[in-house]
Amino acid sequence: MAVFPLPQLEDNAVLLPSSQTNSTQPQLCDVWRDIQGAHNWNGLLDPMVPNLKAEALRYGNLAQLCYDAFDGKSYSKNYGTCYHSKRDLFNKMGMSESGYQVTKYVYANTNLLNQVFGEKPKDQGVWLGFIAVCTDPNEIRRLGRRDIVIAWRGTQTAEEWIEDLRDILVPTRLSSRCKRTGKNQEHHFADGVLIERGFLSCYTSTVRHRQGAAGATVNISTRDLVVSEIERLIQVYEKEMDNLIITFTGHSLGAALATLSAYDIKQMLCTKHNFHQIPVTVFAFASPPVGNLAFAKRVEEIGVKVLRFVNKRDLVPKVPGVCMNENVGCLSKLLHWLPWTYFHVGVELPLHNNSPFIQHTHNLAYFHNLELYLHLLDGYVGSKQPFSWSGRDHALVNNSCDLLREKYEIPPKWWQEQNKGLVKGPDGKWTQPSEEE
């Protein structure tokens, strides 16, 4: 096992002892509603309170897990799936102490994803994330709540975004199948709400989904899969309604899908008796704008809390809508009806590339990397404060890129599945395992 050298901080970086950062902050269980955005994170961001940073990093790790556990090797017979089963995901990915249990995998199937991952059968979806629930009693006590989390994976590089996200806004026409009648029921959303067509197509795409121990498959949309699982979990924990929350997280495309699905789920909750009080929060990393002004207003009206982390040098949060967005001012509001006028939602936290660990680079794609986001967040204290390393392993920055300075002796793009996914059988031969259930 490789032993990486301890980082040597430079003059413009500060290491805060844990006794200074944690001694005076309140228990998370006492302030979790504020940490989840009950008051739009007022007074918590600049400077950032340690509880909020820790929670944001925790959800960011779940989004990163979606990348690390994804089989994106074109030569693999399990291409486009997760390396591990729902039962083993956290254990195999080194997160056995998370306190969460995966209840459902999420798949999608759209032309957008097929362009990235190659031609696939029409009904075969690509693994895009998971739904999990906190089940460990000690972790529930620490959090102060029962947390249902939905983590979405994004595309891999900024180049893929620039190629794929050249689309327009379209009306949202979301419906779900009634279990009692078997008929589709339309959700009556606010007039004028428009969503980027690629995101909506991904969220409503239909895949073949395996159900039950017998392995029977049915056609189901990504959206119906998510909504039905959330409804099921709410019914399971209905007696804990006062301390139940639904948290979405994702990076890049995953952040856009997290925002869209959070909006959809909150709309569903608002139509059900006593469910409207369940908080819905999004921790979004490098999210592009998802919809128009009406969408942004509706997200705020129904109470979805969105905290967006944005690297100042990342291009993805600026597209689509690079020429017409909320930063244009009055002109964008006058032309909000155009199918290419985008507005971001929620609260934005800009992250500055002021880390002494990072070397200078002209590779713009690296500024979109999620591990870089988490590294910058780890060192973030306030908008005018220098980078202050809090102890997150700096080696993770080079997980899938080459950004660390050479003196730290961390190889670039070092993350890979052990033996590239091959396993040695009883006969001594190395083969690719079958997809785990």
Active site residue 264: no
Give just the sign of the alpha carbon dihedral 136, 139, 144, 150. negative
Which residues share a beta bridge with 185?
176
Active site residue 362: no
Of 106, 291, 281, the residue nearest 198 (C-alpha): 291
Active site residue: 98, 252, 287, 388, which one?
Answer: 252
Active site residue: 209, 251, 368, 394, which one?
Answer: 368
Write out 244-284 in H/E/C secondary structure: EEEEEEEECHHHHHHHHHHHHHHHHHHCCCCCCCCCEEEEE
In whole angstroms, give the CA distance from residue 229 to residue 367. 34
Active site residue: 71, 264, 314, 378, which one?
Answer: 314
Active site residue 252: yes
Beta carbons of 244 and 133 less than 8 angstroms apart? no
Burial of 53-68, coded b for 16+ CB within 10 Å and e otherwise, reads bbbbbbbbbbbbbbbb
**Please, is 153 exposed, middle or buried when counting C-beta atoms within 10 Å of its C-beta (0-12, 13-18, 19+)?**
buried
Radius of gyration, CA atoms only, the chain: 21
Other beta carbons less than 10 A from residue 301's beta carbon: 11
Of 63, 62, 79, 61, the residue nearest 71 (C-alpha): 79
Catalytically annotated residues: 252, 314, 368
